[in-house]
Amino acid sequence: MASGPVYGFVYILAWSRYAVARFYPGQSLEFFLDGHLRAFREIGGVAHRHRYDNLRSVILRRRPEIQFNAQFLDFARHFGFTIHVCNPGKANEKGRIERLVQGVVSKTGFVEFETNRYSVPGSYAGMSCEILAFPDSLEVVVKGRKVATHRRIFERGKKQEIPGHREKLLERSPHFKLQRILALMKGMGAEVEQFLFEAEREGEDVLEAAYQMFRLLKGISKETLLSAVREANSLHVHKVFYIQSLLQPQSSPHPVCPQDQRLLEITYKDRELDDYDDLI
């Protein structure tokens, strides 16, 4: 897969703050126009008034009078919207877009986007980040490295948390560690909540069971763990060791050997199967 810089196109409705973002390998006019077309399809219409920074795809020069890019001007006329450009040096006129794609990870390991909170690995708490918003997902990037990917939430005031992101933070507050892990694991899905409920009914230490399941997430995906939990529930086996055996099969560390090692060196002479016909 090729790698290199990418350029973001962000289209935001000023009143509702609804945003559409796309990322392209270049910043020439064809990508700029494609971003508009995708945004129009996403929102199901076209805003009457569009405001832009001093992009060369929009404006070629300002003096002695504003000269718009002729191709983009035709594009705007075709779709019926007016073009308004920001004044040079007036950051407040374009702040709605710039604030949309930048942020800082909170001390509790979350970023906020459109009133919703998304978890980030605890080791990045307090660091500056970039938030890349796609139509169906959201990515958090710290120092050029993608550190979290989430399904995008379109409700307001919601929280989306990946249990594995909490490990470093839990180490800082050991008193609540096991209770917090239990809550996180139950929140992964109804199948995990059912498994832990039945395990506790059968006498298992539910805090320890949740912790052992949490540790499994270091090496496997959430979906893989949920699949194993569903199988355990279907068989009515509510023991963590059964899930561990499904996800981490191990060969016996102590192979069985005969007391007389010469038995491993026995040879025999091949025989034809016809010799056994008389025995049938």
Residue among 198, 205, 204 nearest 229 (CA):
198
Burial class for 55, CB neighbours closer than 10 Å (0-12, 13-18, 19+): middle
Residuewise pLDDT in 10s, the chain (280 residues): 445 677 888 898 888 878 888 888 778 888 899 999 999 999 999 999 998 877 888 988 888 888 889 999 999 999 999 998 877 654 445 444 444 555 687 767 888 888 889 999 878 888 888 888 766 788 888 888 889 999 888 788 888 888 777 666 555 555 567 787 888 888 888 999 999 999 999 988 888 899 899 888 887 888 889 999 999 999 999 999 899 888 876 554 555 666 777 776 777 676 666 665 665 5
Q: Tokens in use for 149?
A: 């990917």
Query: In this predicted structure, what is the pLDDT of residue 84?
Result: 87
Query: In this predicted structure, what is the pLDDT of residue 40?
Result: 94
Coil, strand or helix: which one is 218? Answer: coil
- CA 262, 263, 265, 269: dihedral to nearest 10 degrees? 130
pTM: 0.37
Q: Tokens in use for 58?
A: 């929009």
- CA 42, 45, 48, 53: dihedral to nearest 10 degrees? 20
DSSP 103-130: EE--TTSEEEETTEEEE--GGGTT-EEE
Query: In this predicted structure, what is the pLDDT of residue 1?
Result: 42
